[in-house]
């Protein structure tokens, strides 16, 4: 249709049609029902005017002339109009239910696809994308892409309606049809202009709406810090700034809408008036009857509103395109981890080796889903040539300053991330050669930041694995979680809430520990996994782990990131890491001897206590009176 389509809409047109094609292939049946229903609706809407015109001409006018009406005539009115009304209603039901089903099926399908992809893509990909963006991709972007299918069947029905309508007008009178041929394309063109003016403004308002929401989210998550530092006013200003921008943008949307809505309303009205004027002249010329004029006028009134659905579809095209681009970038994201076909030996002891492992986080911060994903280069290198050898059945402690790469090391050890270069072996099998899910079957991590599912305590410990309640019980006991779990209202069946919100940090850590213990892994990696637990409880946990290891014949390997001497002293080997390099490896005693920075960290508390005792002693000898010690 030749219409001044907006550049953005014009550019969106071709690609958006392809996306619509994807939708039709995915949900052919409901969409076919919707489109057919819409055709019926379109034809019947025109026929309403035709039947009314027909009835006025053949029944009403003669009846008025003879001042008499028969019941047969009344019945003709009822059944002729009744059929049209009924078919029209059926058409609407098919159209709207079909479109709704197609839409909801599509968004459900793509939500599954997108989240499958989240689960499949490697952690490195997740690190590149802010979690907020990923959530809105699975939610808002999927909806935005397919929302076009809500007005689309209606618009297709309206095409039929217009064609039939124009044919109908032609059948009645060429001159009146000419008015229709002028009015409806004008309406379409005005709609297109309207949308082209509207789209950028609506997009901007939508974007600001997102920003307002982001500020609110962040600020409310930070509520405790905001309160503790008395920054409520400052935060409110930050929020108000965005809110006021949104207000301005929304008013701009209103201004454009305010201009176009009345114009779009007025055009068919003027058309109707023109029909009346021209129609009267044609009646005078003896070419038309009053009923004909009325019918065409009625047709204009009926067609005016549905034609608007073109506007909705036009407005939807760019939205569909933007949404689809973002979904497609997730669905087509490459860089999945390649898996081999080997398994870790079932009777392995979890011996872990690393050879010249380098690892960097990608630079350039996070990337947006709207642009093609690029694994950027030149980020911060976190691990440099790390060599490590953990003998089967040994316990190794990794010690190092805050931010030295310890957590990254644990992630590499379980192949949660792949090193840039070098290799990692467990029981002499290269982790890169192990089949999918082969590593979790034999090696387990309890990370610093605990994650619990919105599930029961039992579900969080077993994660659907083949464990009975006795196993769960034993694991909870070793993790020192048994007592507080028993005290929960439903015991093992207590739901822990979103991310375990109903539990304390220490409780969450213990459940996460039980989750690892129950799997009796050959290789257990603990990354500061008891930081929120009291010292006394921690000692009990470590004792439990040791007893468990003995019970099973001590054929499992443990890697633990720790600062506490009690933990370190259990270790056969201590690895000291600084700035991503292994600085020294040996027993605790050896390192205390020859690795000064290690000794400084490990004995920091003791040294500090000593210094203070010395200072106090010195102060005691001081003749000067010292206030408040």
Q: Do 566 and 532 form a contact (C-beta atoms < 8 A)?
A: no
Kind and range of the H or E run holding 212: helix 174-221
Nearest CB to another protein, comparing residues 321 and 582: 582
| Structural tokens at position 522 | 């050959």
Alpha-carbon span 419 to 361, nearest angstrom? 10
Of 566, 589, 614, 617, the one binding another protein by CB under 8 A: 566
Q: CB count, 10 Å around CB of 37?
A: 23
Exactly one of 361, 371, 375, 593 binds another protein (CB under 8 A); that residue is 361
Instruction: Mark residues 510-549: x for contact with another protein by CB under 8 A, - for none.
Output: --x--x---x--------x--xxxxxxxxx----------
Compute how many residues bind another protein; rule: CB under 8 A: 184
Scanning the structure block, which residue is given the tokens 């309406």? 187
Binding mask 148-187 for another protein (x = CB under 8 A): ----------------------------------------
The vertex-342 CA angle with 338 and 347, nearest 5°, equals 135
Residue 407-426 contact track with another protein, rule CB under 8 A, x = bound? x---x--x-x----------
- Residue 272 in the binding site for another protein (CB under 8 A): yes
Contact 505, 529 (CB under 8 A): no
68 binds another protein (CB under 8 A): yes
For another protein, the closer of residues 379 and 385 by Cβ is: 379
Q: How far is the CB of 357 from another protein (least distance, A)?
A: 18
Asked whether position 601 contacts another protein by CB under 8 A, the answer is yes
Q: What number of other Cβ atoms are within 10 A of residue 221's Cβ?
A: 10
Q: Does 593 bind another protein (CB under 8 A)?
A: no
Residues 447-506 contacting another protein, CB under 8 A: 447-449, 451, 453-455, 463-464, 498-499, 501-506
Question: What mask, x for binding another protein by CB under 8 A, covers residues 123 to 152?
Answer: x--x---xxx-xx--xx-------------
Query: Are 188 and 3 spatial neighbours (Cβ–Cβ below 8 Å)?
Result: yes
> What are the start-end ranges of the H helices in 432-504?
457-462, 469-478, 482-487
Name the β-bridge partners of 446: 526
* 73 forms part of the interface with another protein (CB under 8 A): yes
Question: Which residues have a Cβ under 8 Å from the Cβ of 377 and sit 6 or more positions away?
Answer: 362, 363
Residue 9 structure tokens: 């809409």
73, 63 contact by CB (below 8 A): yes
Q: Which of 20, 40, 92, 158 binds another protein (CB under 8 A)?
A: 92
Q: Is position 582 an interface residue for another protein (rule: CB under 8 A)?
A: no
Shortest reach from residue 473's CB to another protein, in Å:
20
Residue with Cβ nearer another protein (11 or 96): 96
2/378 with CB nearer another protein? 378
Segment lying near another protein (by CB under 8 A), choices 18-26, 104-112, 183-191, 318-326: 104-112
CB of 10 or CB of 302, closer to another protein: 302
- Cβ atoms of 213 and 336 within 8 Å: the answer is no
Q: Which is nearer to another protein, 16 or 541 (CB)?
A: 541
**Is 64 among the residues that bind another protein (CB under 8 A)?**
yes
Contact 180, 195 (CB under 8 A): no
Q: How many CB atoms lie within 10 A of CB 351?
A: 18
The DSSP bridge pattern shows strands 421-426 and 395-399 to be unpaired
């Amino acid at each position: 249709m030749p219409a001044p389509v907006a550049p953005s809409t014009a550019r969106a047109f071709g690609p958006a049609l392809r996306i619509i094609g994807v939708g039709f292939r995915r949900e052919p049946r409901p969409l076919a029902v919707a489109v057919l229903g819409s055709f019926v609706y379109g034809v019947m809407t025109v026929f309403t005017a035709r039947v009314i015109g027909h009835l006025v001409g053949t029944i009403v006018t003669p009846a008025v002339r003879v001042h008499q009406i028969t019941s047969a005539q009344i019945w003709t009115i009822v059944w002729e109009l009744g059929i049209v009304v009924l078919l029209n209603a059926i058409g609407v039901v098919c159209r709207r239910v079909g479109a709704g089903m197609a839409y909801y099926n599509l968004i459900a399908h793509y939500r599954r696809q997108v989240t499958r992809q989240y689960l499949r893509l490697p952690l490195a990909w997740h690190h590149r994308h802010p979690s907020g963006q990923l959530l809105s991709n699975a939610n808002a972007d999927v909806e935005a892409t397919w929302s076009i299918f809500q007005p689309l069947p209606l618009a297709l029905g309206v095409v039929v309606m217009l064609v039939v309508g124009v044919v109908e007008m032609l059948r009645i009178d060429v001159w009146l049809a000419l008015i229709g041929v002028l009015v409806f394309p004008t309406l379409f063109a005005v709609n297109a202009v309207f949308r082209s003016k509207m789209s950028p403004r609506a997009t901007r308002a939508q974007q600001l709406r997102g920003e307002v929401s982001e500020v609110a989210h962040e600020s409310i998550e930070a509520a405790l810090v905001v309160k503790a530092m008395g920054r409520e006013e400052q935060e409110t200003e930050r929020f108000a700034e965005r809110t006021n921008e949104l207000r301005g943008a929304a008013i701009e949307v209103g201004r454009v809408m305010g201009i176009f809505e009345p114009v779009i309303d007025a055009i068919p009205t003027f058309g109707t008036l023109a029909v009346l004027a021209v129609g009267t002249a044609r009646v005078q010329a003896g070419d038309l009857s009053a009923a004909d004029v009325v019918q065409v006028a009625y047709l204009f009134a009926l067609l005016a509103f549905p034609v608007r659905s073109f506007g909705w579809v036009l407005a939807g095209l760019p939205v569909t395109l933007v949404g689809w681009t973002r979904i497609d970038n997730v669905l087509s994201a490459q860089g999945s981890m390649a898996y081999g076909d080997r398994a870790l030996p079932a009777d392995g002891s979890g011996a872990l080796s690393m050879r010249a492992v380098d690892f960097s986080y990608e630079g350039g911060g996070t990337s947006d889903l709207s642009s093609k994903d690029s694994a950027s280069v030149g980020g911060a290198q976190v691990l440099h040539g790390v060599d490590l050898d953990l003998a089967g059945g040994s316990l190794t402690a990794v010690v190092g300053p805050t931010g030295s790469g310890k957590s990254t090391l644990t992630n590499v050890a379980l192949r949660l991330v792949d090193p840039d270069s070098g290799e990692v072996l467990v029981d002499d099998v290269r982790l890169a050669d192990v089949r999918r899910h082969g590593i979790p079957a034999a090696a387990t991590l309890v990370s610093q930041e605990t994650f619990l599912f919105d599930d029961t305590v039992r579900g969080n410990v077993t994660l659907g694995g083949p464990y009975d309640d006795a196993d769960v019980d034993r694991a909870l006991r070793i993790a020192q979680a048994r007592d507080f779990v028993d005290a929960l209202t439903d015991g093992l069946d207590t739901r822990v809430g979103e991310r375990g919100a109903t539990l304390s940090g220490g409780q969450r850590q213990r459940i996460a520990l039980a989750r690892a213990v129950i799997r009796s892994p050959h290789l257990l990696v603990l990354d500061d996994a008891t930081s929120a637990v009291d010292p006394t409880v921690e000692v009990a946990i470590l004792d439990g782990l040791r007893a468990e290891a003995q019970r099973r014949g001590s054929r499992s390997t443990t890697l633990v990131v720790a600062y506490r001497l009690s933990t370190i002293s259990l270790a056969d080997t201590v690895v000291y890491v600084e700035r991503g390099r292994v600085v020294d490896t040996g027993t605790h005693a050896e390192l205390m001897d020859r690795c000064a920075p290690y000794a400084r960290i490990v004995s920091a508390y003791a040294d500090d206590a000593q210094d203070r005792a010395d200072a106090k002693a010195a102060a005691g000898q001081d003749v000067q009176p010292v206030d408040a010690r």
